[in-house]
Structure 1
């Protein structure tokens, strides 16, 4: 192994007395090396001659020998250390604004690598080396570089701030703990640091959670904006469609108005043309007679004049035109009538469009309703999927539980509502009788009852194939343009609203308003009896699809 390779262990080149690199190293008879001055001073301070390391005692003053090989190795180590320091200094960067500079550097201040809490000095990599190599300095506490290290000293006692006073919540030195804060509770800075660090970790976690919540809120807001944009685009498209339809109605009404006026004008012109044609024909006849009369009046033939006089004396037969006239057609009220008709048309269209929009909104609250067999009257027949019910002539032998209807052929849905909104649709096609709506949980299921809100029912029904009523007590007769094939039922619990819709016609049938709900509401179905087969079709709960 070469001498150069042996120089990599720095501790072997440190004097155990001064803890620095050897200067003029000499060897004692026991084989230990020391700086020449260090060992001489040590011998001068002691009465005995002993080795500072192994404590071997010499009877006479030992003769010191210069270790030539070791001296060369120390010299080489010094040179390499200086080159390394020089190279390290060139690689290090000067401290930038905001960075802690080295307190030892002269000239250009290099960026500090560590700060020493004992020396109260910040060191660059080069000047930090003694703290990394000298055993005495190795015990010093190094931290990441900080400015104003003097702030870490007690201003009163000029001692390091090593303790934390929990009573006053401040950092103090050892003297403070026995003088100014002697009755207070203290902990080492490190212990308080760990506690506060844990609190900061918790605070950081809470902050991160708050950040995450706000990021989620941002996503929620952005999603709301996206939904709003989609709704805006949809509404714009609907608006264009609506106003295009209204514009078409206005244009058709205008064209009809113009056509009506022009038709009247054409009739007037035709009448005038007929009169003129007839008058011109009479004029032609009169001109012909005038020519004959004039010719006869100039005749010298006495006999000829007298023979033809009787036939030419009187004017040819003509019409009496005294009372005949062409009057302009009566246009008064034509425009007003057209505008009134247009207004009626637009009003109907607007009502239809508003009903469509309302139905679309309530359909968003659709729930998947299924029939509850535990509530079904024994004569009712339910489908396996719980979506259809019709009346059966045979009464089934079923357990009479408290939920079952035994007086009327009624069945309730399994789903209930005690807050919010819900909506469902039922096909009533080909039926001549039915009842639909909602009922509260506490209704009488065994005896006679009246279908009205007072007794917990909010329903409409069909009787005799074309008689519709809202059972509001007394019933309200409903006038429908056409029999609904599918009925939608909507409930807003907090608003106290129950509404019924003709789904295919997108029209409101009836609404119970101002209701006061205090308990659960259930979907209510009554297919009524078969009436000899003409009312055998079932009530069918349908999946809800958005009305176009």
Structure 2
């Protein structure tokens, strides 16, 4: 019973001793287990702890790391070969080289945990370990350097992006200010012209009345002088006999007073001046709505063109046509007669409730005798409608558009310098789509009324002209 209790106590002491060493060992950055946690600030502490642990794992006989570590009953550890040599030749009881405790038998216990710890220490202090650690440090440093370089490049890109945004914003502000300044100049010029005209007509009318007033006043003075002469003659003494009338001043003839029609004068200015001015502004807008017409010589034989060349309508029968190279023969297309290669231009097309159509611009040299896909690669920049509600931009593949409402009129804006083609809902001028990389060179407005099919009544597309008539003045 006593021996069993003693053996249990010895095992408990061994376990506690090993636990202390294990806690100490686990706190160290060994063999890459905690290398990633180590920093320059904690390196001295780790080295000190590792040295302390190395001392704990050093044999007191050979003063080197344990080789096949064994533990005596007194809890001291030694190399198995060292303790075997130490006890060799000893008669009777043997003693611990450290504490001198005697043992009746030469028994010891192999400590595999300490052996594993020794191997960890050997590995952590070997050249291979240091080379691996040095490699890890270099790789980590290179990774940080590359990441830092990426962040620096990202910072520079962000700065460049902000500069570009500010530059574009500044250019747009200047353009908007210029456009509105031009509008203000138009309004100011029209206001000045109208005020000067009112002042000129007012002065002319006042001058007429003033002339009549002066003539009337002169006639009154002359009449008053004649009346005075006559009164003097009539008051002559009785013995004076008048043989004739006294000499009188020549009678001044006064024309009839000029008529001034207030209604006629004011009606020219008490009018819808804002609307009249708005109509006149169209002649000065840049770009103003272009008065396009369809080029009948380019129209597919299934397209009917109105006499004024502003309406295109699909026809159920083929229309006789002259054979010209400019005519579309495979696709139901037509071009405008007007082409553009510079400046900014805008036009509007009334599409109404048509279930399908194509609108945009096209190069003059597009293939007109084959079936081709409408895309910038083939020389077309277009907006399309299919099935009454499916809107798409003419890219390849098609770019579907989600519109809040179906436009009855479509506006097309062409900026030749900026190479942009933009489409607008002309009912509220909301932007539908923009081709940022537009055509370079001369292009023509492009239209396709498409074939609606027998289920739908043919509906035209119309070129809108604003204002509908020129104004005088």
- Tell me if both proteins adopt one fold, taking TM over 0.5 as the criterion: no
Q: TM-score, normalised by structure 1?
A: 0.34
Structure (1 or 2) with the larger CA radius of gyration: 1
Indicate the structure whose relative CO is greater, using CA pairs within 8 Å and at least 6 residues apart: 2
